[in-house]
Structure 1
Amino acid sequence: MAVRGADIACEEGLAEYDVRWPWNHVAEWGRLRPGLTCVFRVKDEARNLPWVLPPMLAAADHVVLVDNLSTDGTAEVGARVAAECGAAERYTGLVYPHRVSRAGQEHLATEPHSVHSLTHFYNWSFSHVRTTYSMKWDGDMVLTPEGVGVLHDLAWQLENSGAVVAIPRHPLSIVSDSEAWLDLGFRFLEPWIYPMGADFTFVKAFEWEVREFPATSQRIVAPEGLVVELKWIEEDEFAHWTSVADFENSRVPRKRREWQVYRALMEGRGETVEGLVRIQAPPGVHIVDHVVHTWLPQAPRPLVRRVRMDP
């Protein structure tokens, strides 16, 4: 039987980086099996992966980690952590060796089917999923123990439902091993989990890529307190954007909030930002472990109380 060619050919003519969707290649790869695969697209996340990967490997059936030009050993750390968790057979490490356009104007100016496009990068990454559900996840997002349980339970409940799942995340700006600021003044909520299929692929939007889904899809919203997003304040939080000037006129309120918090912390005035909570870890406990395992599970709900955003 002849093997079907590319479903989305990259304009550079690099066959290895054409997108071939699994549902169009059943004769070659077989049908998608029930389950949930988490897809990471990462660059220089070696510092975060020891916190990020173990809970995700416990929650998902499979993990695909796509390394994009890291210089800190991200790919090696990912493989090592998976092996240490006894999950090497449920972990796939891939390399995407092309410079990807930064979000904002640079992304907007890039052809959607170029290997340099965020859209093509995401579609190529997700084309390696072999389960019926997939999950977009970032290399700085840590599940709490409650989050592991919720995702593990969802994996079988979603089967054949066609539903998408939105999960709130809580940005944690880390000042030191013992101090951080948790943003509970804005509801960071977006869809992360989708069925695999032709109606659920990525398309180009103005600032970044967007995953499409039918308007008829059921939308499930997970509870708060399941995920923290690690932000080390000594690192450039916005290096993946064309220009920080984009935030001043951004149509996306969450980017304006992230920029507001970042500037306040860099200027030493975190206490002036409504909804930003300072947390101190006890001696001998890392702040990430304290927030994930103790502070956040014990915090009263609702966690997030929205504050007014400046126009």
Structure 2
Amino acid sequence: MSPVRGADLVCREGDPAYDVRWPWRTETLPPGLTCVFRVRNEARNLPWVLPPMLRAVQHVVLVDNGSDDGTPEVALRVAEECGAADRFTLTAYPFQVARAGTEHLATAPDSVHSLTHFYNWSFAHVRTAYSMKWDGDMVLTPEGVGVLADLSWQLQDSNAVVAVPRHPLSIESESVAWLDLGFRFLEPWIYPMGPEFTFVKAFEWEVREFPETSERIVAPEGLCVELKWLDQDEFAHWSSTVDFDSSRAPRKRREWEVYSALMEGRGDAVPGLHRIEAPPGVHVVDHVTRTWLPQAARPLVRRGGRTV
């Protein structure tokens, strides 16, 4: 048996199983795009999230971080139902990870409790030339599936980074939801794998570095929605809502403003927030992703709105 090579990033807790060993150190990664989910208690969302993603990319890695709602079992079942069990990797990260904001800022980046180390460890499981960060509550539209499927081969050897707009969808019931098109939620999600594209610590959360020379591609609007259920705490992964600094975290500030308005019955007063009601017998998530968004006039988001 060949010896295990040294770690590229050693965790300060001294557990070699959770040191980071980058695959590109020892092998040439084949073409393709791998989506990496880091999830906790996303069983409710995965039946919407996983099927389109499994159609869009070559491989999916799902890292479960202590779920107690059956998330791993749901993920495995959905992958099998999609006929994609051979393109799906499930693993677990058993440590409590610091919440975004002040907890993250106070945690050493080489600790297993750091968002930075958690992300680097998760992405070390990728075995394709390109990787994509994705959240367990983000649902691709049919157009989104097509765009990502095309990108998976168009990006090879380009060194480009791809930003994907997403649209928060606050779900009131099975038939009613509120789609936020008042702000442009845009950030890079797709990166090459390599030494210049790793995660580092920032103020509120982790940030993936990339060279200034990298081409930045912006995908079209309408490719995905981010599910936000009004009957659960969507901000539990933050230390405090006080951390929603308007200059560094305008996206979270906007999300908090929308959530507060909806909980107080003021949704109609929020500019850019659309109430959508699905037809009988159709879940509102399916209606928005398969019908409403594909048919909506472009641009979806007013260009005077702030990009966050």
Identify the TM-score tier after normalising by the shorter chain. over 0.9
Q: Answer yes or no: is 1:158 the counterpart of 2:159.
A: no
1:250, CA displacement in angstroms? 5.0
* CA–CA distance in structure 1, aligned partners of residues 304 and 67 of structure 2: 37
Partner of 1:231: 228
Partner of 1:209: 206
Measure the CA separation in 2 of the matches of 1:39 and 1:152. 15
Gaps of 5+ in 2: none
Letter in 1 for 2:243: D
* 1:20 aligned partner: 21
Paired amino acid for 1:278: R
1:84 has 2:81 as partner: yes
CA distance in 2, matches of 1:257, 1:201: 28
* 1:161-212 CA distance string (max 9 Å, x none): 0000000000000000000000000000000000000000000000000000
1:56-84 deviations in Å (ceiling 9; x for gaps): 00000000000001010001100110000
Q: CA deviation at 1:25?
A: 2.6
Q: Secondary structure at the match of 1:66?
A: strand
Question: CA–CA distance in 1 between the matches of 2:64 and 2:123?
Answer: 13
Distance 1:70 1:306 in 2: 39
Amino acid at match of 2:241: V
Matched, 1:108 2:108: no
Q: CA RMSD in A?
A: 1.1
Letter in 1 for 2:100: A
Matched residues in 2 for 1:308 and 1:161: separation?
A: 30
Kept after mapping to 2: 8 A contact 1:185/1:306: no
Kindly state the Cα deviation for residue 308 of structure 1 after the two structures are TM-superposed.
6.1
- CA distance change for structure 1 residues 103 and 218 in 2, over 3 Å: closer, same or farther? same
Q: Which amino acid aligns with 2:14?
A: G
Instruction: Pick the aligned partner of 2:274 from 277, 290, 293.
Output: 277
Conserved? CA contact 2:41–2:70, under 8 Å: yes
SS in 2 for 1:302: coil
Q: What is the aligned partner in structure 2 of residue 11 from structure 1?
A: 12
How far the C-alpha of 1:252 sits from its partner, in A, is 2.1
Question: Aligned partners of 1:64, 1:251: CA distance in 2, in Å?
Answer: 29
In the TM superposition, what is the alpha-carbon distance from 1:255 to its structure 2 partner?
1.4
The one-character-per-residue Cα deviations of 1:256-303 (angstroms, maximum 9, x if unpaired) are 111110110111100010000000000000000000000000000000
Secondary structure in structure 2 of the residue aligned to 1:254: helix
Runs of at least 4 residues of structure 1 off by over 6 A? none
| Percent identical residues | 76
- Aligned residue in 2 for 1:222: 219
Question: AA paired with 1:45?
Answer: E
Q: How does 1:144-293 map to 2 (within 5 A)?
A: 144-249=141-246, 251-293=248-290
Structure 1 range deviating more: 129-138 or 244-253: 244-253
Q: Which amino acid aligns with 1:220?
A: I
Three-state SS of the structure 1 residue aligned to 2:31 is strand
CA–CA distance in 2 between the matches of 1:248 and 1:132? 35
In structure 2, distance between residues paired with 1:134 and 1:308: 29
CA distance in 1, matches of 2:134, 2:98: 19
How many angstroms does 1:218 deviate by? 0.2
Whole-Å Cα distance in 2 between the matches of residues 306 and 36 of structure 1? Answer: 30
Output the amino acid matched with 1:198. Answer: P
Match of 2:122 in 1: 125
- Establish whether residue 70 from structure 1 lines up as the match of residue 67 from structure 2: yes
Q: How many residues align?
A: 305
Contact 2:36 2:60 in 1 (8 A): yes
Cα deviation for residue 24 of structure 1 reads: 1.4
Q: TM-score scaled by structure 1?
A: 0.96
**Runs of at least 5 residues in structure 1 that lack an aligned partner in the other structure:** none
Distance 2:136 2:204 in 1: 20
* Alpha-carbon distance, 1:254 to partner: 1.2
Deviations 1:39-97 (A, max 9, x none): 00000000000000000000000000000010100011001100000000000000000
Partner SS state of residue 125, structure 2? coil
